């Protein structure tokens, strides 16, 4: 399967199937000298693992990460970092039924058409477990970015149409909400909606917002490797993400230039700032020094217990009711995945941008 590698300098390759021996990632291109241990990576993975709330699948997956290479005496060595999470609680028989038919909204049909057969156990490579490698690699990227003063934070913006009220939102609330919503009233309302959807054997979607703070201006390449284009690709590559917006996103289509333009202002320290941030921190494919603001639309979980119509592998119309353990909403577990993909993309672009100016290269070599 081609296309399992992301990034140009900070390069990550994820591997593994939901019900194979394990899932993991190889990170190549991580600079030497970053302090790193399993506990640090585990903290990020714990935000993704299921079974923590009523709104994620009751599967109990420990998802314990093991570092297999690339770290010596608590620091990255500059060589490939290999991370593995062994699959432990898989119940493949839950999924034997889906071998014979195509789940509406899932990737069963397209995998069969592309490869002629598929690892149907838990969705194989199209499973949400594939994102474990992304989050583990994203943890390293986030730690490295933090050391540069760049912070990436994602949270749930809405679920099933219930949106956060920005006046009530606080970043301190994110970890208090089982849905990772910064507005606890909206979180309670969304929980009630999910209870209802669970009774109806249905599922809900939502929006994840991600903010990158501390980003200097001028990161990103101006043509095919635009920062916004690469962020969109990074986040759209997550299963179930169906739309990505930067800044005001689709709303710009109905705005007028006089409102949509962000006025530049001279900041106190002699630098240049913007009065507003409709652009979401990116102009011409490069960061403009404001916070980068990205939103991802996540569809409702496709595997639902409610009766649905589909077709089996013999091409016959059938009615199904999907068994197995599935999230009634994907959004909360995907929050850290969006954060990880954003961090991986931003870090790669930061590293790529280091060769863009001769004066900075000279400054670097003079220091040697």
Residues interacting with ligand FMN, by CB under 6 A? 57, 106-107, 126-128, 131, 238-240, 299, 301-303, 326-327, 330, 333-334, 337
CA–CA gap between residue 315 and residue 175 (Å, rounded): 46
- Shortest distance in whole angstroms from residue 94 CB to ligand FMN: 11
Element (H, E) at 287: strand 286-287
CB-nearer residue toward ligand FMN: 283 or 335:
335
225: tokens are: 């490797």
Distances from the Cα of 295 to the Cαs of 158, 206, 244, 328, 359, in angstroms? 10, 10, 6, 21, 35
Query: What are the backbone angles phi and psi of residue 325, rounded to the nearest 5°?
Result: -110, 110
- Shortest distance in whole angstroms from residue 145 CB to ligand FMN: 22
- Shortest distance in whole angstroms from residue 239 CB to ligand FMN: 3
CB-nearer residue toward ligand FMN: 220 or 328:
328
CB-nearer residue toward ligand FMN: 79 or 312:
312
Q: Tabulate helix, strand, coil % of the chain (nearest 5).
A: 35, 25, 40
Residue nearest to ligand FMN (CB): 128
CB-nearer residue toward ligand FMN: 287 or 301:
301
- Shortest distance in whole angstroms from residue 181 CB to ligand FMN: 17
CB-nearer residue toward ligand FMN: 177 or 203:
203
Instruction: Dihedral sign for Cα 18, 20, 24, 26, please.
Output: negative
Question: Do the Cβ atoms of 18 and 123 come closer than 8 Å?
Answer: yes
- Shortest distance in whole angstroms from residue 251 CB to ligand FMN: 24
Nearest to 275 by CA among 263, 260, 259: 263
- Shortest distance in whole angstroms from residue 334 CB to ligand FMN: 4
Question: Within 13 A of 231's CA, how many CA atoms are on the CB side?
Answer: 33
| Contacts for 115 with CB less than 8 Å, ≥ 6 apart | none
- Shortest distance in whole angstroms from residue 298 CB to ligand FMN: 8
CB-nearer residue toward ligand FMN: 107 or 283:
107
* Helices of type H across the chain: 38-46, 108-115, 131-147, 184-199, 227-236, 257-260, 331-352, 358-366
- Shortest distance in whole angstroms from residue 125 CB to ligand FMN: 9
CB-nearer residue toward ligand FMN: 195 or 259:
195
Residue with tokens 């399992």: 4
Question: Do the Cβ atoms of 339 and 292 come closer than 8 Å?
Answer: no
Helix 331-352 and helix 227-236, axial crossing angle in degrees, nearest 10: 150
- Shortest distance in whole angstroms from residue 126 CB to ligand FMN: 4
Question: Do the Cβ atoms of 228 and 247 come closer than 8 Å?
Answer: no
CB-nearer residue toward ligand FMN: 128 or 182:
128
Beta bridge partners of 81: 27
CB-nearer residue toward ligand FMN: 82 or 203:
203
């Amino acid at each position: 399967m081609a296309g399992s590698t992301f990034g140009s300098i900070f390069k990550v390759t994820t591997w593994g199937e939901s019900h194979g021996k394990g899932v993991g990632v190889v990170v190549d291109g991580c600079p030497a000298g970053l302090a790193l241990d399993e506990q640090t990576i585990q903290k990020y993975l714990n935000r993704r693992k299921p079974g923590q709330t009523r709104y994620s699948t009751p599967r109990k997956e420990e998802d314990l990460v093991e570092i297999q290479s690339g770290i010596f005496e608590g620091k990255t060595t500059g060589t490939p970092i290999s991370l593995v999470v062994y699959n432990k609680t898989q119940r493949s028989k839950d999924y034997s039924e889906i071998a014979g038919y195509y789940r509406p909204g899932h990737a069963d049909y397209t995998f069969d058409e592309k490869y002629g057969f598929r690892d149907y156990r838990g969705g194989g490579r199209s499973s949400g477990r594939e994102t474990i490698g992304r989050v583990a690699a994203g943890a390293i990227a986030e730690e490295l970015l933090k050391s540069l003063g760049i912070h990436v934070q994602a949270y749930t913006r809405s679920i099933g149409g219930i949106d956060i009220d920005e006046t009530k939102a606080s970043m301190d609330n994110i970890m208090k909400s089982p849905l990772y919503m910064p507005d606890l009233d909206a979180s309670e309302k969304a929980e009630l909606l999910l209870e209802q959807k669970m009774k109806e054997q249905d599922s809900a979607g939502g929006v994840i917002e991600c903010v990158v703070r501390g980003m200097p201006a001028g990161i990103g390449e101006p043509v095919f490797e635009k920062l916004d284009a690469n962020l969109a690709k990074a986040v759209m590559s997550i299963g179930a993400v169906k739309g990505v917006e930067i800044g005001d996103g689709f709303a710009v289509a109905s705005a007028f230039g006089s409102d949509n333009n962000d006025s530049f202002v001279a900041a106190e320290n002699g630098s240049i700032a913007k009065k507003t941030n409709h652009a979401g921190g990116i102009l011409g494919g490069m960061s403009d020094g404001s916070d980068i603001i990205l939103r991802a639309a996540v569809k409702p979980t496709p595997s639902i217990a409610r009766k649905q119509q589909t077709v089996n592998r013999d091409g016959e119309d059938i009615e199904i009711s999907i068994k197995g353990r599935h999230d009634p909403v994907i959004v909360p577990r995907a929050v850290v995945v969006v954060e990880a993909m954003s961090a991986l993309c931003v870090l790669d672009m930061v590293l790529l941008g280091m060769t863009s100016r001769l004066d900075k290269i000279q400054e670097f070599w003079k220091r040697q």
